[in-house]
Amino acid sequence: MTDLFDLDALKRRLAAAPDGAAFERLGLQTVVLGDDALAALPRIVAELVAVRRLKGPVAILSDLTPKLYRSADLADHVTASLAADADVRRVTLGAPGHPVHADEETLARATRECEGAACLVAVGSGTVADIGKVIAAAHGMGYVIVQTANSVNGFADDRSVLLVSGVKRTTPTTWADALVIDTDVLVSAPVEMNVSGFADLIATFTAPADWYLATLLGMDDTYSPTVVALAREQGPAVLAAAPHVPDADRAALAQVAATLTLSGISMGIAGTTAPCSGMEHTVSHLIEMATMQAGHEPALHGAQVGASSIVAAVLWQRVLDELADGGLSRVVVPDAAQAEAGVRAAFMTVDPSGAMGEECWRDYSRKLARWAGAGERVALAARDWPAHDRALRDLLTGPEALVRALRSAGAPVLFSEVRPPADDATARWATASCHLMRDRFSVADMACFLGIWDAACVDAVLSEAARLGSAA
């Protein structure tokens, strides 16, 4: 077995972090990444059950999407390898031909069917892994994730993306005890899923700037340079691997897997997804929500995040120019009543019931209240703006470079290239409304509070992103 991830070294590094990064939050105890990593699974499960003195069968959670391991069914292989030493219970989610969604009904059924197990082994996508986190947290059982593709970074954090009243919400749940990533499984995964995971990583070249600005202006006090370094330090290596991802090159897929794992861990120890999730993720979430509300299956999350990151990078250029021109002296506090009406109207277009608007206003109103009290922090930031401008530019990568990286990996750059594509109206709505979805402060919020995030600016940003993507 080739172990390509040194978790012990990472723990030592975090424990010595000068900015007090919360090493104690790291609940992931084992990461096995490399060739023949699945061979370690029976030992990992047995030790987990023994150390925690757990009683009951091992539940194997999966969906109906085919997953292969050396030309055999992966879930069957996992079942057979564990059945030699333990009672095994198979729990299968979803319906043939339909992806699983982490909605209330699915969560309730999965939690019920896994009750009484000593250990849960999730074999599936990021959604299956997220559902497993909810179950493990509810029942206090041991939890192991067998990663089936390089699709997202959420395998390695302690949060789940759930559907609440039709709105995508990132919810604290629990860490997996162990993460097993076998390169034979990654090589057999659909190319578009591995490409999607690479595209998801492009957010680390824009999102940390959102996080820095939020902390600077008193909207979020969690910013950590150590965590940002952890999320971004593999950037050059993963960009170098990009051209080889579509070819299912073993070394390239292992590099992407390791970087996704670091990305997930960075979010978990920060206690927030902010190190790797900013404006670009909310745009993607809104497109997914609108697509599902219309009764269609959404595109791969990471693919949309990659295209959305280009939009975020273009907007950052405009916002930095505005801030360099003394923009912080012109910020405004929106009227709460008008803001509420705007939030509800924005989401009424995709959910006439009003449930989505109610859920989004609940989060956005908290952000608005913090902004109303941020005047002193805003004034302090304005006094030393050149230094903050340099810090932000160091955290950002220009949209042209991001376009080149996505193109080199065969990932979508334009919303029209994502499959299924987002039509112009949906992409425009998601971009214009992304800051209204949650209480996380992003560059779109900054543009709004600067008074520049109007219809003309939205159109200009989308046009520039489309121009860059078409020219590449």
Query: Crossing angle for the helix pair 207-216 and 279-293, nearest 10 degrees?
Result: 110
Calculated CA dihedral for residues 237, 267, 141, 1, nearest 10 degrees: 10
| Residues 344-367: b if buried by 16+ CB within 10 A, e if exposed | bebbeebbeeeebbebbbebbeeb
The per-residue pLDDT for 95 is 82
Protein fold of 7-189: Rossmann fold (3.40.50)
DSSP assigned state of 102: -
The beta-strand segments (E) located in 35-135 are 58-63, 68-69, 72-73, 88-93, 119-124
Report pTM: 0.94
pLDDT at site 168: 85
368: helix, strand or coil: helix
Per-residue confidence (pLDDT) for residue 1, from 0 to 100: 58
CB 219 within 8 A of CB 441: yes
Distance CA 369, CA 218 (A): 11
β-pair partners for 92: 62
CA distance 133 to 57: 18
Report d(CA 281, CA 202) in Å as an integer. 11
9/243 Cα distance (integer angstroms): 29
The residue whose two tokens read 């009683």 is 55
Q: What is the pLDDT of residue 166?
A: 81
Residue 471 structure tokens: 């020219």
**To 5 degrees, how large is the angle CA 451–CA 216–CA 197?**
85
Structural contact between residues 287 and 411, judged by C-beta atoms closer than 8 angstroms: no
Per-residue pLDDT of the chain (472 residues; tens, 9 = 90+): 567 788 888 888 888 888 766 667 899 999 999 999 999 999 999 999 998 888 899 999 999 999 999 999 999 999 999 999 999 999 999 887 778 999 999 999 999 999 999 999 999 989 999 999 999 999 999 999 999 999 999 999 999 999 888 888 889 999 999 999 999 999 999 999 999 999 999 999 999 999 999 999 999 999 999 999 999 989 999 999 999 999 999 999 999 999 999 999 999 999 999 999 999 999 999 999 999 888 898 999 999 999 999 999 999 999 999 999 999 999 988 899 999 999 999 999 889 999 999 999 999 999 999 999 999 999 999 999 999 999 999 999 999 999 999 999 999 999 999 999 999 999 999 999 999 999 999 999 999 999 999 999 999 999 999 999 998 7
Give the C-alpha separation, 358 to 165, whole Å.
9
Q: How far apart are CA 143 and CA 295, in angstroms?
A: 33
Domain boundaries, the chain: 7-189, 274-471
Given a contact cutoff of 8 angstroms between Cβ atoms, the answer to whether 96 and 89 are in contact is no
DSSP 116-155: T-SEEEEEE-HHHHHHHHHHHHHHT-EEEEEE-SS--SGG
Of 208, 198, 207, the C-alpha closest to 405 is 198
